[in-house]
Amino acid sequence: MSVDFLHWLPAYLALGVAGGFAAGLLGIGGGMLFVPLLTWLFEAQGFARASLVHMALGTSLAIIVFTSISSARTHHAKGNVDWSIVRGIAPGILLGGLVGGWLAKQLSTTALAMLFAVFVSYSALQMFLNAKPKPSRQLPGALGLAGVGTAISALSQLVGAGGGFLSVPFMTWCNVNMHRAVGTSAALGLPIAIMGAVMFFIGGRGTVDLPAGSLGFIYLPAFLGVLIPGVLMAPVGARLAARLPVATLKRVFAAFLFVLAAKMLHSAWLT
């Protein structure tokens, strides 16, 4: 373990605590917090600017594989995961992961940062406005759910998240209870994150100027530093989510996403 890693370890541990809690509370896998702050930490360590966001995305998705397991187990135990929705969306996740992973490799750090900010801002606005779905609106059929899964998975690869920033608003728009939408989103985050981590591992192989300790675009020291507190804190957030009123949960979700979108826009302007 290098001296440099020990110097940055407290920051990684703090990020794991905050991200794991957010994963359980909001059903977002933690990526909306991991990506902008990992980008900032990697920049502060002097990593190559051309790969900053790619590394943040890949590392975030690798972490989310494990935080999603922890969060989804807690939500499932409370009966807040709709496995019929998970089964309907899952077929589209593979295709979306391939498309999103390929696109992420082609885009620059600035373009990825801008995409992150745009999609997160859109999600935050939808939640902030608290638009009421039509009482008759229902989830689409099998083909429609697979299409939704493809879109959510592809966009998740581009923003390094478990898909909750899209899947939670989509499910609430279709009259799924907010607590159930958050729990189901946590379960969906696992296959999305696995696909993303694999794609960023493959996509980063052979890339020059990556720091020591990298597996493709996954930076192992950050992965290990964030992972353990993240997994421990995800159930804490999930237990709190089950007790919070729906309106409060939506406001927390929206405020959280607005702040992170602004942070990523700032990063985009500097790159």
* Confidence at residue 218, expressed as pLDDT on a 0 to 100 scale: 94
Residue range 252-257: average pLDDT?
74
Q: What is the C-alpha to C-alpha distance for residues 108 and 115, in angstroms, rounded to an integer? A: 11
pTM: 0.78
- pLDDT (tens digit, 9 = 90+) per residue, 60-106? 889 888 877 877 887 888 888 889 888 888 888 888 888 887 887 78
C-alpha 227/C-alpha 60 separation (Å) is 10
Q: Which pLDDT value is given to residue 246?
A: 61
Residue 15 has pLDDT above 80, yes or no: yes
**Higher pLDDT residue, 162 or 10?**
10
Identity of the highest mean pLDDT range in 25-39, 72-86, 244-258:
72-86
**Cα 216 from Cα 68, distance rounded (Å):** 22
Comparing 90 with 246, the larger pLDDT belongs to 90
Alpha helices (runs of H) in 27-82, residue ranges in sequence order: 31-44, 52-77
pLDDT of 1 reads 44
What is residue 142's predicted lDDT score, i.e. its pLDDT? Answer: 81
The residue with greater pLDDT, 101 or 200, is: 200
- Calculate the average pLDDT of the chain: 80
4 confidence band (pLDDT: 50, 70, 90): low
Structure tokens at 188: 């969906």
Please give the DSSP secondary-structure letter assigned to residue 230. Answer: H
Is residue 270 pLDDT above 60, yes or no? no
The amino acid present at 222, given as its one-letter code, is A
Average pLDDT estimate for 11-25: 81
Asked whether the beta carbons of 79 and 243 are under 8 A apart, the reply is no
- Higher-scoring residue by pLDDT: 241, 145: 145
Position 215 scores a pLDDT of 92
pLDDT at residue 67 in the model: 76
Q: Given this model, what pLDDT does residue 220 score?
A: 92
Q: Which residues, 6+ apart, have CB-to-CB distance to 158 below 8 Å?
A: 57, 100, 103, 104, 107, 112, 115, 116, 119
* Segment 141-157, tens digit of pLDDT: 888 888 888 888 888 77
Q: Is the model's pLDDT at 221 over the cut of 80?
A: yes
| Percent of the chain whose pLDDT exceeds 70 | 86
**Residue 58 contacts residue 216 (beta carbons within 8 Å):** yes
Does the structure show a pLDDT above 60 at 3? Answer: no
